[in-house]
Structure 1
């Protein structure tokens, strides 16, 4: 029996991890606690084998004046909770970091990460995550294992991200450019299975889970359109519009550029990619508008 405390109540990731693990009540006991106003200090950490820390401020076009808050929550609070967990006998601390610790291209050139790629975040959001990682690594010892997860974009039912917006667009547009790309993504069920496996195996280190297949913006549009009975003409004739639009609209490179982990980085000696990319798009809630 693994006793797990998720710090970050009601979060998209935390809620889905909890749902996945409690399907096996004989193997996992899961509790959640809020991190606001030091509510987490009221929890009895001595009861738990694992703390899974998902709390943090998300990346929502942060303004420079918000930098101190990002470091306070994403770095300082993370390290404080980890210290507390270590002092109270927790054996494993799992931290949800992000691919954002690497430099993200803002052009159509795109970006890709290999095992030897050095973290180089674009802004203080990514840096606050990276600083948290460094602090956590300093706490690791034989009796306190630290597992850092750097996922790419996480998605799934109920998640309000760019994927539902793309689904909306796929149902509305009559045409779409055939500008193919490669993007690493991670369905929340695949993440949940990954967390389950590293918990059972009591693993430490830095990990890069992703879906078994790369996502392709063109194929996503094609799949969404097909599922909703909408016809879209996909053609290279419209590709110059992507090239031109990328010069003026930041959303264009974000939609059409490459952004991925090399697949070898994500291979483990256990199977966690339990849902295929095509299957994972079915049943996703589609935004009614692009806003």
Structure 2
């Protein structure tokens, strides 16, 4: 029996990887609602034009015949934007836009709605050795995290009413070939060959390789025990900032020296310069426990952290040659 899957955000880092994998599934077709239908996607994908995502977006034409919705599109976290000024912008897209899609999906007879949320719903940091669990009490602290949490609550209300099955997935930092933002910037600095003061960081952070997120999402399309559940996702192996940089230095083939400077000194300097949030990401811990995925779904990350980092570094080096 054929299956039709709608994927929002199909041109994004995660969404694009998802549609490429789903296109290879047997008897499965993909519809991608897009603001720019001239963008390049794998052949065979049904493109549908939509306007900006908010409470007025009309998804009905895109939802015809769809069995499953995978909602990756969102207004993402914007650095240095005050939450008090931006919360309404996040809510317009991440809450009202999501609810509009979910309601129209339920009306169209969609059976399952997979929502890509964020670990920021759980919080910003963990104590060393005390990871977040999927069923912990949420504690979002910024506008992005709050909007994702509010969207989750609205979706769970739909599932509790029996209107549609809902699956919520909260990834940690996603990396992989083509990654941008801070991870790409870190690799750029590591290839400059200049000393960096990150050789004595003893925190622990969970990361997740792009293909591991994709694999969990695809597992959740049909798995009966995924219905109305929340899952965290990581590579299942945590590393300190120092360990992460040491591995990347090796895979990038650079000579960068990581100087063992006290994180207390670095944190003080970062806060003095108004970069406290950066210090938290570099020196604080954020760990997640994914045993629920194995116990409920029989799912474990198919790609090891080591292999994911090697693949990411290799792609970065290759892209610099072009």
Query: TM-score normalized by structure 1?
Result: 0.87
Counterpart of 1:208 in 2: which secondary structure? strand
Unpaired segments ≥5 residues, structure 2 = 35-49
Q: 2:195 aligns to what?
A: 174
Q: 2:109 aligns to what?
A: 89
Alignment of 1:36 with 2:64, yes or no, is: no
Q: CA deviation at 1:177?
A: 1.9
The structure whose RCO (Cα within 8 Å, separation 6+) is larger is 1
Mapped contact 2:57–2:100 kept (Cα < 8 A): no
Counterpart of 1:121 in 2: which secondary structure? coil
What are the within-5 Å matches in structure 2 for residues 143-154 of structure 1? Answer: 144-154=164-174
Q: CA deviation at 1:56?
A: 1.1
Change (3 A) 1:217 1:93: same
Counterpart of 2:106 in 1: which secondary structure? helix
What are the within-5 Å matches in structure 2 for residues 187-226 of structure 1? Answer: 187-202=209-224, 203-204=226-227, 205-226=229-250
Change (3 A) 1:173 1:81: same
Query: TM-score normalized by structure 2?
Result: 0.79
For 2:263 and 2:149, locate their aligned partners in 1 and report how far apart those are by CA, in whole Å. Answer: 36
Counterpart of 1:36 in 2: which secondary structure? coil
Q: 1:131 aligns to what?
A: 150
Q: 1:260 aligns to what?
A: 287
Unpaired segments ≥5 residues, structure 1 = none
For 1:151 and 1:218, locate their aligned partners in 2 and report how far apart those are by CA, in whole Å. Answer: 22
CA RMSD, aligned part only? 2.6
Structure 1 stretches of at least 4 aligned residues deviating more than 6 Å after TM superposition:
107-111
Q: Aligned pairs, how many?
A: 285
Mapped contact 1:197–1:270 kept (Cα < 8 A): no
Alignment of 1:275 with 2:295, yes or no, is: no
Q: 2:16 aligns to what?
A: 15
For 2:130 and 2:148, locate their aligned partners in 1 and report how far apart those are by CA, in whole Å. Answer: 19
Mapped contact 1:177–1:242 kept (Cα < 8 A): no
